[in-house]
């Protein structure tokens, strides 16, 4: 299928991209193009102008600043998966990046494009929710920082304004906490039917804090609050009992891959697996 006609501009800076966006309500940013181009081919999106931000200097790579890792918005999955700083200090981001699509997707798709796209089946949003990450956006009025819990507003709906460019994602250094991203899909290259991100602080088999977020269990990624509360202070069988609460408060979709009840069961099973993996089991 062929997209509708559009103008194409390559932004040399974030400011230039913001200027182009501000002057055109129908313009859209393009990064890796692996979510936007399919929408354009099916004419579900018909931007009059594409503003390419993939080559804007300063928007790629991972840098440590004290207890925070700053990930450039245009960093691709392939590079996130292999980044030595991430792998050492916040491995759940690298682990999830390595499970996105196939090698072609991972060489083109970016973390910023995925966050802005807000697909409830995408992998990284739940990871960012479990990490209490911060999304950094720049617009005509300057820079603002958006908590991950405020960023994913609805089905394909982020908190970003039309004229804002997502420039970075900030995640915490996880030294002292275990983490895991467990994804269930039909084929290795597919989106998650359900997936679970878990960040767990524990000692001697007892959990002091668990942060758990679910992929594709609603119109946005969602924290498994009931399971998290029950995990605090839990050990042994109590951890499995807590995981059994993981689907509480969720509203999973029904589609050709799975029904809602199947997804609820997956959320419970994968939560236990993710927490056990995060604890080193
Ligand atoms: C075959 C296939 C399999 C896939 N499998 C998975 C999977 O298993 N898991 C998964 O999570 N994803 C999957 N994806 C999606 C893939 O990860 C996308 O690349 C990603 O979701 C979007 O990143 P992008 O850089 O390609 O963004 P683009 O497609 O370029 O843009 C997506 C949206 O974000 C906006 N945008 C882009 N950059 C910015 C920015 N800096 N600031 C503000 N807005 C911006 C664009 O305007 C657009 O609306 C798959 C895609 C394909 C084609």
Q: Could you tell me if residue 242 is inside a domain?
A: yes
Contact 270, 190 (CB under 8 A): no
Instruction: Give the range of the structural domain holding residue 17, as residue numbers without chain letter.
Output: 7-52
Asked whether residue 185 falls in the same domain as residue 227, the answer is yes
**Last residue of one domain, picked from the residues 172, 190, 215:** 172
**Last residue of one domain, picked from the residues 143, 172, 201:** 172
Averaged pLDDT for residues 179-184: 98
Residue nearest to atom 49 of ligand 1 (CA): 117
pLDDT at 223 over 80: yes
Q: Could you tell me if residue 33 is inside a domain?
A: yes
pLDDT tens per residue, range 93-143: 999 999 999 999 999 999 999 999 999 999 999 999 999 999 999 999 999
Residue nearest to atom 1 of ligand 1 (CA): 101
Local confidence band at 1 (pLDDT 50, 70, 90 cut-offs): confident
**Last residue of one domain, picked from the residues 128, 154, 172:** 172
Asked whether residue 185 falls in the same domain as residue 213, the answer is yes
Q: Could you tell me if residue 2 is inside a domain?
A: no
Q: Could you tell me if residue 24 is inside a domain?
A: yes
CATH number for position 14: 3.30.43.10
Look at residue 176 in the predicted model and tell me its pLDDT: 87
Look at residue 180 in the predicted model and tell me its pLDDT: 98
pTM for the whole structure: 0.97
Give, for ligand 1, the residue of 21, 29, 140, 152 to mutate: max count of ligand atoms closer than 8 Å to Cβ.
29
Residue nearest to atom 27 of ligand 1 (CA): 113
CB of 105 closer than 6 angstroms to any ligand 1 atom: yes
Distance 17 CA to ligand 1 centre (A): 18
Distance 118 CA to ligand 1 centre (A): 9
Averaged pLDDT for residues 84-88: 97
Residue nearest to atom 6 of ligand 1 (CA): 101
């Amino acid at each position: 299928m062929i997209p509708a006609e559009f103008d194409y501009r390559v932004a040399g800076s974030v400011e230039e991209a913001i200027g182009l966006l501000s002057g055109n309500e129908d313009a859209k940013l393009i990064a890796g193009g692996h979510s936007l181009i399919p929408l354009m081919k099916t004419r579900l999106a018909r931007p009059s102008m594409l503003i390419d931000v993939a080559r804007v200097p300063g928007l790629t790579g991972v840098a440590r600043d004290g207890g925070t890792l700053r990930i450039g918005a245009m960093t691709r999955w392939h590079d996130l998966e292999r980044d030595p700083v991430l792998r050492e200090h916040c491995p759940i981001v690298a682990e999830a990046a390595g499970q996105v699509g196939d090698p072609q997707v991972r060489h083109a798709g970016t973390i910023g494009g995925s966050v802005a796209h807000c697909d409830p089946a995408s992998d990284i949003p739940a990871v960012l929710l479990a990490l209490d990450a911060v999304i950094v956006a720049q617009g005509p009025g300057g820079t603002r920082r958006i908590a991950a819990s405020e960023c994913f507003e609805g089905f394909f709906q982020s908190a970003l304004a039309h004229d804002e460019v997502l420039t970075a994602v900030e995640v915490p250094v996880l030294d002292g906490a275990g983490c895991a991203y467990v994804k269930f899909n039909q084929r290795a290259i597919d989106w998650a039917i359900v997936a679970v991100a878990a960040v767990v602080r524990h000692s001697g088999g007892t959990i002091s804090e668990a942060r758990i977020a679910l992929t594709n269990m609603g119109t946005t990624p969602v924290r498994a609050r009931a399971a998290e509360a029950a995990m605090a202070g839990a050990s042994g069988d109590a951890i499995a009992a807590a995981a059994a609460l993981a689907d509480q408060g969720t509203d999973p979709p029904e589609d050709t891959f799975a029904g809602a009840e199947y997804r609820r069961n997956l959320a419970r099973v994968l939560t236990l697996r993710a927490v056990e993996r995060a604890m080193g089991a």
